[in-house]
Amino acid sequence: MISILLVLSLGILVGLLIISKPKLHLFNNYLLNWSIYLLLFLLGISVGTNAEIIRNLGKIGYEAVTIAIASIAGSVVLSQILFNLLFKKK
Amino acid sequence: MRSSLIIFSFFIAGVFAGLSAKIPAGFDWDKIGGYALYLLMFLAGVSIGSDRNSWKVLATHNYKIFWVPVCIIIGTMTGAALVALVLPSLTLRESLAVGAGFGYYSLSSVFITQLHSQSLGVVALLSNIFREVATLLITPFLVRHFGNLAGIASGGATAMDTTLPVISRYSGKEYAIVAVFSGIVLTILVPFLVTFILTVGK
């Protein structure tokens, strides 16, 4: 855990160093996008070859949708309270 | 929306490649994923650090908007915790970790796959894509019934980019800055929170 967060913090520091170099931002975002594509493609392959996950896809989808709906509902309810307390124009 | 379709189609293409069983038997996600995660982490860090606009928005002096991401975090974690009570197949830790993606499916799914398991990684991918797509669809309804912060809350980390247009259209332009602020804070917190939830006390 510590090493992951160290790498993230190192990245943020490097980002700060190149803050006035827009060409490097573009290059970094290009690398970031393609590494995400590649990782999700690889995740897809290992899901496709994993019989247990394929068998449980219904259950996985059900859990995913339930967590998403509960997360949205919880944050929307709290945001409404905050809105009424601080943001609403009287 | 466009970018999430691209990302999701890479995943689906991978699934079909895997199903077609032309992949060598020794394919090992853990080996590749381990190093790839560090690379992704580093690149995500650089992209956060080098974004001048993010730092500018974060340096805002309007104290009210600090409460927006706080409420989204507490609300999301409460909702996800309730799911763990209702669905016996999920532990509290698993459910919270998926919720802590706040819609940022690419990073959170890769993280969870690496730190926990592939199947929970897939739950995180689907769940957080669903959160983004649902936000795009129901923001008009949410804003009408739950106030101008509701779309921002529903969008979570995506409120800074993919769901920003729909939020700013239905909540008003003055809420766009709130959406970007909240989205940036949550986006930065996703890797920290997911790692924390999956590793604390282990």
pLDDT in tens, B141-199: 999 999 999 999 999 999 988 888 899 889 988 898 899 899 989 998 998 899 899 98
- The predicted structure's pLDDT at residue A1: 57
**Residues B121/B94, Cβ–Cβ less than 8 Å:** no
Token readout for B128 is 């957080």
Judged against a pLDDT cut of 60, whether residue B34 lies above it is answered with yes
Residue from the list B52, B64, B119 with its beta carbon closest to the beta carbon of A19: B52
Interface mutation target, options B27, B46, B111, chain A, most CBs of A under 10 Å: B46
* pLDDT classification of B28: cutoffs 50, 70, 90: low
Contact B83/A at CB under 8 A: yes
Number of residue pairs across A and B with CB atoms under 8 Å? Answer: 299
Residue of A51, A33, A77 whose CA lies nearest to B153? A77
Judged against a pLDDT cut of 80, whether residue B2 lies above it is answered with no
- The predicted structure's pLDDT at residue B52: 81
* pLDDT classification of A77: cutoffs 50, 70, 90: very high
Tell me if B123 and A60 make a contact (CB, 8 A cut-off): yes
A46-50, B16-20, B143-147, B152-156: least confident range: A46-50
Judged against a pLDDT cut of 90, whether residue A36 lies above it is answered with no
Token readout for A79 is 């945001």
- The predicted structure's pLDDT at residue A32: 84
Q: Which residue has the tokens 């959406």?
A: B179
Contact B172/A at CB under 8 A: no
Contact A43/B at CB under 8 A: yes
- ipTM greater than 0.90: no
Interface mutation target, options B105, B107, B127, B167, chain A, most CBs of A under 10 Å: B127
**Residues B65/B39, Cβ–Cβ less than 8 Å:** no
Torsion of CA B166, B158, A72, B93, to 10 degrees: 170
Query: Cβ contacts (< 8 Å) between B90 and chain A: which residues?
Result: 63, 67
User: What percentage of chain A reaches a pLDDT higher than 90?
Assistant: 36
Chain A 8-37, CB below 8 Å of chain B: which residues?
8-19, 21, 24-25, 28-29, 31-32, 35-37
Tell me if A71 and B80 make a contact (CB, 8 A cut-off): yes
A81-90, B4-13, B144-153, B165-174: least confident range: B4-13
- The predicted structure's pLDDT at residue B107: 85
Q: In terms of CA atoms, which chain B residue is nearest residue A9?
A: B45
Q: What is the DSSP letter of B90?
A: S
Contact A90/B at CB under 8 A: no
Q: What is the pLDDT of residues B42-101, one digit of tens each?
A: 888 888 888 887 777 777 767 889 999 999 999 999 999 999 999 999 999 999 999 999
Domain residue ranges of chain A, discontinuous segments joined by +? 21-49, 56-90
* pLDDT classification of B24: cutoffs 50, 70, 90: low
Tell me if A78 and B74 make a contact (CB, 8 A cut-off): yes
Tell me if A19 and B49 make a contact (CB, 8 A cut-off): yes
- The predicted structure's pLDDT at residue A14: 93
Cα B33 from Cα B118, distance rounded (Å): 11
Token readout for B32 is 């590749």
Residue from the list A49, A71, A86 with its beta carbon closest to the beta carbon of B18: A49
Residue from the list A52, A66, A71 with its beta carbon closest to the beta carbon of B87: A66
* pLDDT classification of B110: cutoffs 50, 70, 90: confident
Q: Which residue has the tokens 């104290």?
A: B63
Most distant CA pair in chain B, distance = 56
Say what the pTM is. Answer: 0.84
What's B130-197 look like in SS3? HHHHHHHHHHHHHHHHHCCCHHHHHHHHHHHCCCHHHHHHHHCHHHHHHHHHHHHHHHHHHHHHHHHH
- The predicted structure's pLDDT at residue B30: 60
Tell me if B40 and A10 make a contact (CB, 8 A cut-off): no
- The predicted structure's pLDDT at residue B33: 65
A83-87, B27-31, B89-93: least confident range: B27-31
Judged against a pLDDT cut of 80, whether residue B32 lies above it is answered with no
